[in-house]
Structure 1
Amino acid sequence: MKMKLVKIALILTVLLFGMQLPSVEAATYDGETTVNLNIRSTPSLSGTVVKTLPKGTKVKYGTYNQSWHKVYVNSRTYYASAQYIRKLSSPSSSLTTQSATSTGVTTENLNIRVTSHRAASIVTTLKKGTEVKYAVHNSSWAKVYLNGKTYYAAKMYIAPKLTDATVSRTEGYANREMKLFAMRSQSSAVQKVLPKHTVVTSSKYNSSWSTVYIGSATYYTPTAWITPGSLKPQIVKENGYANRELKLFVMRSQSSSVAKVLPINTAVVSSKYNSSWSTVYIGNATYYTPTAWISTSKTEIQPPTTTEPNDGLTQGYANRNVNLFGRTHQSSPVQLVLPKYTAVSYKSYNASWSTVHIGSKVYYTASSWLTAGKAPAAPEAAPKGTVYINTPGDVLNVRSQASLNSSVVGKLDHGTAVAYYATVNGFHKIKYNGKDAYVSSGFVSSSKPSESSGAVIVLDPGHGGKDPGALNGSLYEKTIVLDVSQRVEAYLRSKYGYTVRLTRSTDVYLTLDQRVAAAKSLRGDLFVSMHVNAAGSSAAKGLETFYSTRSAHSARSSVLASNIQSNLVGKMSGMSNRGVKTANYYVITYNTMPSALVELGFISSPTDLTYLRSDASRQRMAEGVAEGIAKYVQTYH
């Protein structure tokens, strides 16, 4: 019986002791909310918000875990974020271990050990900046409470966490574009970005980070990004003038939207924003424009936008080829170029610049480029050389302009020698009855032509002008084929006295239609188009000649192509023979005469490139093509 009583007593003692434990866990504290605080049904951010307590509300609360407190409202238990409740007094029932416990932050990556000894086992390592509950163990070690258990760590690497009660909030401003982070790490999510010079309220969290307060929300940012005190920008507004057509932008970028455009010499009020940009003030609105576009001198005189009689303009002339600018700076875009000796109306703008007035427009140029008075007669240009009219049995039209649509001012006989001054758009500029005139470059030659009335051979150097053709570095197809074509022309003229005409003798662009039309207008009897090949692989190489099976002259075209290929390969024994091939290229399909297209090798082949670069090889190529043409002419003409 006594044993039963002892057992019953022990059981009751254990039960009574066990009933005391919840009272320790449920210790109640007096606190105060430090922000407008959401009260939730569960200890989670996804928990339902029951209500929101205004900042400064007095509450009864108990500790739930490191992140959440139990909050007692209207005899019910809810949950709230622990960091936003400030303790006001000691709990109604507490443990000495709790009162000795503090909240701290690790100042380095910190090893947590099972005992207070450097040789003790490491349970885990907390990253720098981790918040921990801890109590002083001795002069070197602290007790650290993790997951309901007690461990140990070096006390020197734990700093007390600043609480709302000790936080000193200060006013300052962002000294750069300021990112606000969700956590004290620049790898965490960016919640907001504040422009430079934004006024902020903050408190120092630790030596590296500060807490930024916006309304009831808090964020984190590096302390170095905040300058304490108030920002007092020194804005100095200046009067000035737009020294060009002035674009006003909504942002400090010329790729942003243009809000307004002010005419040149509009008076503006502005202030320097930085070294490159100025703020322009129009009424209550502000815009941005490059500082270089505004002249701030108040003594400058706004030039008139139209030329009026008796307006003080000086009559003079350009003493060189004169660039006219839209503003007083030679790095600005050139609006117009006046040839030397052009008469101008101008007046001084400042010590270095003058305004030039042309109709209703005003430009700027260097004063030293202008001379007052009547311009002297421009010296007569010296001719570049002599050419001969090459129209056997016919005459050549002399035109007023470098165009087939311009008026005919005269005619020149075959073999006539004329001095030329320039080549323009496929025409040679000459003098006719003392005036400038033009003749088609396709009907002139550099040597006096023979009176032969045999076949007319039309050579077509491919590509030209804006179309370079195939290329390898600085070597262009258009350059190679013009050179070889001119060598073929010279060879056929000097050796056989043949009449040879080129669709282009200069670097001009012709369409495929224009090449076919030129062959017809040149009254050709056969047509040879010169090209250089290219391929995606450097292995492709060699010579080949094409004719079209769809041409009305395909039979003779085949003979022409075969003769050219045979003689070309004979002259260029070091190059591969790719043979005669058929292809319906436009210029050999739609021509009105027997036609062939020659490919003088691959510019993409290192082997062929050696020949294409060589003057000696180009001459042999020309001779091979020329001998093939001659063989054809001797057969059919």
Structure 2
Amino acid sequence: MNMKLFKLALIMIVLLFSIQIPSAEAATLEGETTVNLNVRATPSTNGKLIQTLKKGTKVKYGTYNKEWSKIYLNSRTYYASAQYIKRIATPSSTVTKQAATSTGVTTVNLNIRVSAHSKATVYRTLKKGTTVQYAVHNSSWAKVYIGGKTYYAAKAYIAPKVVASTPTVTKEDGYANRSLKLFGERNQRSTVLKVLPVKSKVVSSKYNTSWSIVYLGNETFFTPTAWITSGAPATPPATTKPPVVKTDGYANRELKLFGQRNQRSTVLKVLPIKSKVVSSKYNTSWSVVYLGNETYYTPTVGITTGAPPVAKPPIAKPPVIQKVQGYANRNANLYKKTLQSSPVARVLPKYTTVTYSKHNSSWSVVYIGTETFYTPTSWLTAGKAPAAPAATPKGKVYTNTPGDVLNVRASASASSAVLGRLAHGTQVDHYGSANGFYKIKYNGRDGYISTAYAMTLKPNATSGAVIVLDAGHGGGDPGAVNGSLYEKTIVLDVTKRVETYLRSKYGYQVRLTRSTDVYLTLDQRVQTAKTLRGNLFVSLHTNAATTPAAKGVETFYSSYSAHSAKSRVLATNIQSNLMGKMSGMTNRGVKTANYYVISYNTMPSALVELGFISSPQDVTHLRNNTSRQRMAEGVAEGIAQYVRAYH
């Protein structure tokens, strides 16, 4: 009987050992970062930093060794410090089917998109900690329900909202018993985020036996528990710690100031040699430097007590400057610094006689009156300047200042001295142009006149101005429409009336960009004006608005144009004369607008809006032939007023 029991027991033992016990831990775990955690390419603090995960980020991870864990991001494996990953308990083997809609909370500032794609349009961004209703869309995306509509967000950044009891955090008051470094991680080799002065009051709670959490406003940091003392800082007895003795001194070298007593830490400021400093000894190697309300650390060896020594004047006499008489062997730029990229103060024409001295191997000092300048030595030649060859005129121009005179200046600048004045239509030889000025000869010396007030053709006794008129729209572009009334038709009719009036009354040269119902692009209109060699350009249009209340006449010029000043005069003259003819219409005034045809033209230009085709009041004038004729005469008289002033 005993033998049977023994055999039965032996069989049970064999059966028990033959059963394979499943592993209690899966290869991939669910976890959460407990600090802002650096993810690296290799399991080493010197490994390449891939990214930093915010505190509280959910991660999938696996065990690598005692100190490091594998982190799985974007289908790749990286590494992070194992002590800063908290494992999240996995659900039991009994799978509970998730409800169609769940309540969750965002773990970061989360972009909500219109579709489940990282490049989809962002509908809005929910702040970290926002409660949302959501459902699983796929392995990467969740549906988010906002305002009765469905949007999408990265599933990894929505955590189920769980109401669970949390351990009571015991916060206590205390103070820093030393200069208190605050970290984002429980690692003294990590980045120092803030430093609190010794004896600063702090509110903290114990994280573990070595580390505490410090609370500053809404922010939390980690610091070694040993650096905090509970209660209020006590005033030590006089014999406990000697008072800080601040002494005046100076930097005996270029003085680097640090936030830590470590010369490999970041240099926060650098004081020049001989700077005055107030400091106190921290220990045998380091001193505390006081700048205003801030304190820094620096090696004590860099500070000398007392006032910096006053440099004694040299006994030896300064070297005698050897000034040389010479001349500029080219058009030589003069500078206030020994740097050719600095502003040019003056220009010496070639063969100008100068007095100069050597500054260094590359530069010389040039003396002009009481002023000194620098110029490259290679641009100067010692000795007497050769006779400069007589300059040959490069062409003739005529002054173009109707009713006015043109200033002749000493240099190519509108702020230089005025040498004299030339009457309108005066012919002069020019020797080239630069900076918007022609160089000429005036009373035996060089002078300069503005190219803006000179022309290559002699002005006519009356006016040689070519007036270019542009009827807006045309062809397949009707412009503004009111029933059977088209903008393109109105403005072409008024434009032809303006042309006829200017030709018959004043004999002006008038050209049209279009005289029939054809379409021209904006650039074609500008190029046509250039081809016609126009001296001024006027484009006619009618306006339109979504409300019938908008009405009236207005004229535009472009502040972008190189001729904005004359364009403003042209626009003002047209608006004034047009309203004189059409006093029954609303005066909307002269305005600026960078329309293409008036911004990119090479001549003074204006754009006229003859009224609103959408206005019941204005449209009666736009339909009426008598009103159109008065409009044409007003525009024409404004142009004529401008031409008389400038041509």
Q: If the length of structure 1 is used for normalisation, what is the TM-score?
A: 0.30
Which structure's CA Rg is the greater one?
1
